[in-house]
Amino acid sequence: HLTFVDAAGGHHVISGVSPGRTLMEAGRENGISGILVDCGGACACATCHVHVEPEWLAELGGPNDLESSMLDLEEALQDNSRLSCQVPLTEAMDGLIVWVPRR
Ligand code: FES
């Protein structure tokens, strides 16, 4: 399962992980508010920004240079920020928790 915590503090638990999908797609398909995806998942808008529970950062790996440059423009940038469209899901991510920043 994946857990999204929206900006209002609402917890949304999604069963299954769907390897091959991205974290953004999982959020969109389950109607998580605040994951806006203006660019359609092309790492060009940062409206899919999430904060990842810190203990999961190593499993996800870090952002590449393009993603980092997009994140640098985000007001809500934190050490645990990722663009959810750039996070491919794997079975190992079962239990992942992310927060959607207020925007
Ligand atoms: Fe635009 Fe992720 S959807 S950067």
ipTM of the complex: 0.99
Residues of the chain with pLDDT below 70 are none
Q: Where are the alpha helices (DSSP H) in 33-90?
A: 57-60, 65-71
Query: For residues 9 and 16, what is the distance between their CA atoms, to the nearest angstrom?
Result: 22
* pLDDT (0 to 100) of residue 103: 78
* Residue to substitute in 36, 43, 100 for testing ligand 1 pocket (most ligand atoms within 8 angstroms of CB): 43
Q: Say how many Å lie between the CA of residue 27 and the centre of ligand 1.
A: 12
* pLDDT (0 to 100) of residue 27: 97
Report the chain's C-alpha Rg in angstroms: 12
Q: How many domains does the chain have?
A: 1
* pLDDT (0 to 100) of residue 33: 95
Q: The domain that contains 90 carries what CATH number?
A: 3.10.20.30
Which amino acid, residue 67? E
Residue 22 sits in which domain range? Answer: 2-99
What is the bridge-based pairing of β-strands 11-14 and 49-52? unpaired
Report whether residue 36 contacts ligand 1, using a CB cutoff of 6 Å. no
Q: Say how many Å lie between the CA of residue 25 and the centre of ligand 1.
A: 10
